[in-house]
Each structure stands twice: as structure tokens, then as C-alpha cells.
Amino acid sequence: MASLPLLCSQAVTETILITGISSGIGKALCLEYLRRGARVYAIGRSDLEPADVPERPNFIAQDLSQLEAIPAALDKLLCGVPTLDRVILNAGVLGPIRDLRDTPMHQLRAVMDLNTWANKAIVDSLVSLGVEFKQVIGISSGAAVSGNRGWNSYSLSKAAFLMLLRLYAAELPATHFCSLAPGLVDTAMQDYLCGLDREHAIRFPSVARIQGARGTINMPGPDELAPRLIAAFDTVRDQPSGAFIDIRKM
């Protein structure tokens, strides 16, 4: 676990826990929070590259698909942390775009483990550790509610994740929960989608729409999106706990 103290001259504005900081949205959020002087705790398979930023997050390496290992990893990471202002459940995988009937059970289970059940393990661990956590933001997706052809395990896992947070909202009234869809963001996930061939684009029309959005204002990069997301994390608190919110409609 790499951990260096923040510079004394920087005011620590808040304490956050975030999952999946090695690339894409999670990396951009982590860097932006560090720049703002937040105290960042992060868990995922890999840390930021050393050159990314002078300050470091408090990081613990953990494959979040290994559900049984999550409580001990969080115990180690958060030792002595009484309160988290925000928990950002970001780590996720897409899985192959293909019809549901062609998708084997083991693939559905693998995507569900990371995109849904790892998040249950995290919330439950925070409760058992006695850490106060004021807000939980699940990085959701339009796929949680759209049911587009081909999005099989991803759609199922994001729909279940949405309901997971809604159920916790009913159970844990002192914490504000929301599922926030960030819109299309130009990350590694888009490398896969935009690399799919013409046959896929014809069979799965949502893929063609995404391919057409790359390089336009409809698909910002994660660094551009991060400040907007951070602003949205405050705004969503006006909505009922457990709500699904699409940043494109805010």
C-alpha cells in the first residue's frame, strides 16, 4: 500500500473512497480530487502511475472480483478513518457486446461480481467497520435502464447495481445514495466499442450510435468530465436517496 501525507499547505476539503483509479473516469476523478486537496482512499487492481501526480492516494491493491477479500482490504485501507464524505463506486467492466442467448453463464456471473456484488461487499464492509459514510455515488450507465440489444451482462449488472443502491437507500437513511450515469466518456471502454466491426454495428444499433459520437462533444474525455461529475455529486443530494440520474439530463 503506497501512502504519502498531503502537503501541509493544502487544505483538505473532504475525505473520499473511490474504486478503480488506474484509468478512465476513476483516474480522472482521483487526480481532480487530489489537485483540490482532498484526502483520497482508493482500492482497485492497480494504482495511478507514479508520474501522474505529486500527491498520492492512500491505495490498496485488490481485485474487486475477489468478493471475500474485500472486507479485510478495506479494514487495512481505512484503519483509523472515522468518516468518509463520499464513496464513489466506479470500477466496472463492459463484457462482450453480443446477444444474451450467446452469452455464457460464467460471463454473466463475472461481470455481475465486479459491477454489482463487489459494491455490496464494499457497503457492507463500511457498515461493519463502523465508518460513517455520508454519500455513496454509483457510477451507473444508461444501460441500467435502456435494455439495448447486445448489452447483456453489462445491462443486467448495472440494473441490479441501481436497485442495490436503492435498497440501501431505504435501509441506511443517514447516507445519501445515487446512481449517476456519466454519459458517453472516451475511455478504454470506448476503445472496445469503437473497435467493433460493421457487422456488430448493424446488429447492435446502439454500437453504431456510440461509434458516431466519438470525437464529438457528445463523448468528452474523462479529464474534461471529472469537474462536472464532482459538481454533480453535490447537486444530486437534492434528489431522493436511491435516485437514478443521468448527467446529460441535469
Ligand X SMILES: NC(=O)c1ccc[n+]([C@@H]2O[C@H](COP(=O)([O-])OP(=O)(O)OC[C@H]3O[C@@H](n4cnc5c(N)ncnc54)[C@H](OP(=O)(O)O)[C@@H]3O)[C@@H](O)[C@H]2O)c1
Q: Applying CB under 6 A, which residues contact ligand X?
A: 20-26, 44-46, 63-65, 90-93, 114, 139, 141, 181-182, 184-185, 187-190
Sort residue 20 into left (φ over 0), alpha (ψ -120 to 50) or beta.
left
Sort residue 9 into left (φ over 0), alpha (ψ -120 to 50) or beta.
alpha
Q: How far is the CB of 42 from ligand X (least distance, A)?
A: 9
**Minimum CB distance to ligand X smaller for 123 or for 139:** 139
Q: How far is the CB of 96 from ligand X (least distance, A)?
A: 14
E strands within the chain? 15-19, 39-44, 58-61, 83-84, 86-89, 132-133, 135-139, 176-181, 243-246
**Minimum CB distance to ligand X smaller for 7 or for 213:** 213
**Minimum CB distance to ligand X smaller for 182 or for 242:** 182
Q: How far is the CB of 149 from ligand X (least distance, A)?
A: 17
Asked whether the beta carbons of 237 and 135 are under 8 A apart, the reply is yes
**Minimum CB distance to ligand X smaller for 55 or for 186:** 186
Long-range contacts of 98-102, Cβ-Cβ distance < 8 Å, separation of 24 or more: 98/150, 98/152, 99/149, 99/150, 99/152, 100/152
Asked whether the beta carbons of 142 and 88 are under 8 A apart, the reply is no
Q: How far is the CB of 46 from ligand X (least distance, A)?
A: 4
Residue least distant from ligand X (Cβ) = 24
Q: How far is the CB of 222 from ligand X (least distance, A)?
A: 6
Q: How far is the CB of 7 from ligand X (least distance, A)?
A: 25
d(C-alpha 51, C-alpha 41), whole Å: 18
**Minimum CB distance to ligand X smaller for 132 or for 226:** 226
**Minimum CB distance to ligand X smaller for 83 or for 205:** 205
Asked whether the beta carbons of 45 and 95 are under 8 A apart, the reply is no
Give φ, ψ of 48 to 5 degrees. Answer: -65, 155
